[in-house]
């Protein structure tokens, strides 16, 4: 018992102190509208060799020993934390977004991947020493890693930015998210190959081919057969086992088995947990409540432990290389913004939208940090390069939100209320499905002289790409229409509610259908953001749903818009 206490007490003390500091600094970062991961990493730097180790090396070694039982157990906990964090990251990937993604999203995603990948690979392969390559290691693997590090995006940061700007389900949001999903899947696929190649210790053509085939095969199985089996498993678990405990248990079992399978065939375990998250997140049987429970557990316990533990592993002041950091940041910014921005512009997006997409996809965040840490642990990179990548990941994340907002220049302009008319008002929608509602609402535009069938099909095609249901009982189907001279907004009310697959799971009672001219990209963004902001009030739809005529609706709506303007 005494021996057990000697092992357990230091372990629990270390975890408790680490979690306390991570929570505290994470919350402090949120207070300043910064990502929690920034505060969690700062907490680790304070507790690690950068600050605490400088002030009291003996105390640091006692609280967070570099070897022994406590060190091994903390390492084990952080390994589980990484796997669970990648599970949540995978669940945020809308696999259907890639399948549905139209040409512009695919081209933007590929452009945002290939340009930084090419710049990173060329620079690291030609000048490995300047990039901090570890002497004696394979140039090809090192260059592949740098290329991957330059090309990956942070889907959680991008999604959060779009949500904060009320643009998540806009056309711009859909294209950006689809491109980021494509970036993530390809980036982690390439990184899994790099880790496997480094593990087997050669880069011959046969070794690369075998590893690539194995990785792709595992991915295909998980995202096809595995995805269907997981969906059926979730159905059975929710039908016959306790809820939500049974579902949570099933999710963890699938995650750890997938991680074990990936490790067993020579791919890193994190790639298995990431694919498990993608497969689980695609299932309609995984309820929003269960998703939130898993996300909160990981985000408030395991993720803080992991990100704080990073600061325990490296002395940032001793390993900070200013020139290397500038090079890494320059390639990251130039590659991603130019690659995504130019391809988006060539695909028909406006100048502002193209730059905004490039800036959004430039966010690296936690995904970059995990990638860099694993490379450091495997010996692919040294601590100097790790610190530079850490600084780049944080800089791109902090840069994302404010710059996207400034680039888009979202201004209220003419209030969306002023575009409403009793000519385009439907007090009682009779349809029951989103596509039927769109057809019914399209009929209101008959007086414009435009082809109603064309309007209907354009709105439906947009809805198929990403549902337009927002929170608090509102949906905003929208489209750019060729030949339209002025923007039009039609209003429909559904007492029973229509399932537009809203972000909060509630049915839509208020349907606002927006049509803008074909070149009205920025106008559409402003209207969409203004509507989303107006209806970001819990009682918004309930104030409007009982309106018997347009005058009552408009009167209640002006109360809501005034509330937004005065707060």
pLDDT in tens, 266-315: 777 888 898 999 899 878 788 777 888 888 888 888 989 988 988 888 88
- With 0-12 CB in 10 A as exposed, 13-18 as middle and 19+ as buried, what is 539? exposed
Residues 532, 166 contacting (CB under 8 angstroms): yes
Q: In what helix (H) or strand (E) does residue 32 lie, and over which residues does it extend?
A: none
Q: Does pLDDT of 365 surpass 90?
A: no
Q: In what helix (H) or strand (E) does residue 493 lie, and over which residues does it extend?
A: strand 488-498
Range of weakest confidence among 123-137, 427-441, 449-463, 486-500: 123-137
Mean pLDDT of all residues belonging to the chain: 85
Mean pLDDT value of segment 505-514? 90
Domains of the chain: 52-408 (1.20.1530.20), 416-566 (3.40.930.10)
Catalytic hit among 61, 268, 285, 478? 478
The rounded distance, in Å, linking the Cα atoms of 463 and 468 is: 6
Q: How much is the pLDDT for 207? A: 60
Global confidence as pTM: 0.78
Q: How much is the pLDDT for 412? A: 58
Q: How much is the pLDDT for 457? A: 93
Q: Does pLDDT of 202 surpass 60?
A: no
Residue 368 — pLDDT band, cuts 50, 70, 90?
Answer: confident
pLDDT in tens, 225-255: 999 999 999 889 888 887 778 888 999 999 9
pLDDT in tens, 6-21: 667 888 899 999 999 9
Range of weakest confidence among 197-211, 249-263, 406-420: 197-211
Number of Cβ within 10 Å of residue 464's Cβ equals 13
Active site annotation includes 478 = yes
With tokens 């011959």, the residue in question is 204
The rounded distance, in Å, linking the Cα atoms of 140 and 129 is: 13
Q: Does pLDDT of 85 surpass 70?
A: yes
Residue 205 — pLDDT band, cuts 50, 70, 90?
Answer: low
Strands 478-481 and 508-517: parallel
pLDDT in tens, 409-447: 766 556 788 889 999 999 999 998 999 999 999 999 988
Q: Does pLDDT of 141 surpass 50?
A: yes
Q: Does pLDDT of 560 surpass 70?
A: yes
Q: Does pLDDT of 183 surpass 90?
A: no
């Amino acid at each position: 018992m005494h021996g057990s206490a000697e092992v357990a007490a230091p372990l629990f003390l270390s975890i408790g102190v680490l979690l306390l500091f991570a929570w505290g600094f994470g919350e402090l970062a949120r207070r300043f509208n910064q990502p929690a991961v920034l505060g969690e990493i700062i907490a680790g730097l304070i507790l690690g060799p950068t600050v605490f180790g400088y002030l009291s090396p003996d105390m640091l070694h006692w609280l967070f020993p570099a070897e022994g039982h406590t060190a091994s157990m903390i390492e084990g906990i952080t390994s589980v934390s990484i796997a669970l964090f990648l599970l949540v990251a995978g669940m945020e990937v809308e696999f259907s977004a890639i399948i549905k993604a139209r040409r512009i999203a695919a081209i933007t995603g590929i452009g945002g991947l290939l340009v930084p990948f090419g710049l990173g690979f060329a620079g690291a392969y030609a000048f490995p020493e300047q990039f901090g390559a570890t002497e004696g290691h394979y140039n090809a693997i090192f260059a592949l890693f740098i290329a991957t590090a330059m090309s990956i995006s942070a889907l959680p940061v991008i999604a959060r930015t779009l949500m904060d700007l009320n643009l998540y389900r806009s056309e711009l949001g859909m294209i950006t998210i689809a491109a980021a999903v494509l970036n993530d899947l390809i980036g982690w696929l390439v990184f899994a190959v790099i880790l496997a190649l480094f593990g087997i210790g050669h880069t011959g053509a046969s070794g690369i081919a075998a590893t690539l085939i194995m990785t792709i095969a595992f991915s295909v199985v998980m995202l096809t057969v595995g995805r269907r089996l997981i969906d059926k498993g979730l159905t059975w678990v929710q039908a016959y086992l306790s809820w939500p405990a049974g579902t949570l248990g099933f999710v963890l079992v699938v995650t750890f088995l997938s991680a074990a399978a990936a490790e067993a065939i020579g791919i890193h375990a994190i790639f298995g947990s990431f694919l498990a998250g993608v497969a689980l997140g695609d299932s309609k049987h995984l309820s929003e409540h269960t998703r939130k429970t898993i996300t909160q557990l990981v985000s408030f316990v395991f993720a803080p432990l992991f990100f704080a533990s990073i600061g325990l592993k490296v002395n940032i002041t001793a390993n900070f290389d200013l020139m290397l950091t500038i090079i890494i940041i320059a390639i990251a910014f130039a590659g991603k913004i130019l690659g995504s921005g130019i391809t988006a512009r060539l695909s028909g997006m406006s100048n502002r939208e193209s730059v905004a997409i490039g800036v959004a996809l430039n966010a690296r965040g936690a995904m970059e940090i995990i990638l860099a840490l694993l490379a450091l642990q495997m010996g692919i990179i040294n601590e100097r390069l790790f610190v530079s990548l850490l600084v780049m990941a944080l800089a791109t994340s902090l840069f994302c939100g404010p710059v996207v907002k400034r680039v888009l220049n979202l201004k209220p302009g003419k209030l969306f209320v002023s575009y409403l008319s009793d000519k385009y008002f439907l007090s009682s929608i009779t349809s029951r499905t989103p596509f039927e509602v769109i057809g019914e609402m399209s009929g209101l535009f008959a007086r414009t002289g435009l082809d109603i069938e064309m309007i209907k099909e354009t709105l439906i095609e947009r809805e198929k790409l990403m549902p337009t249901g927002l929170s608090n009982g509102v949906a905003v189907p929208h489209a750019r229409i060729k030949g339209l001279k002025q923007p039009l907004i039609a209003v429909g009310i559904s007492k029973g509610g229509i399932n537009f697959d809203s972000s909060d799971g509630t049915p839509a009672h208020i349907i606002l259908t927006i049509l803008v001219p074909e070149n009205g990209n920025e106008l559409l963004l402003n209207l969409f953001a203004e509507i989303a902001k107006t209806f970001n009030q819990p009682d918004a739809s309930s104030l409007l749903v009982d309106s018997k005529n347009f005058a009552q609706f408009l009167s209640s709506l002006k109360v809501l818009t005034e509330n937004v303007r005065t707060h």
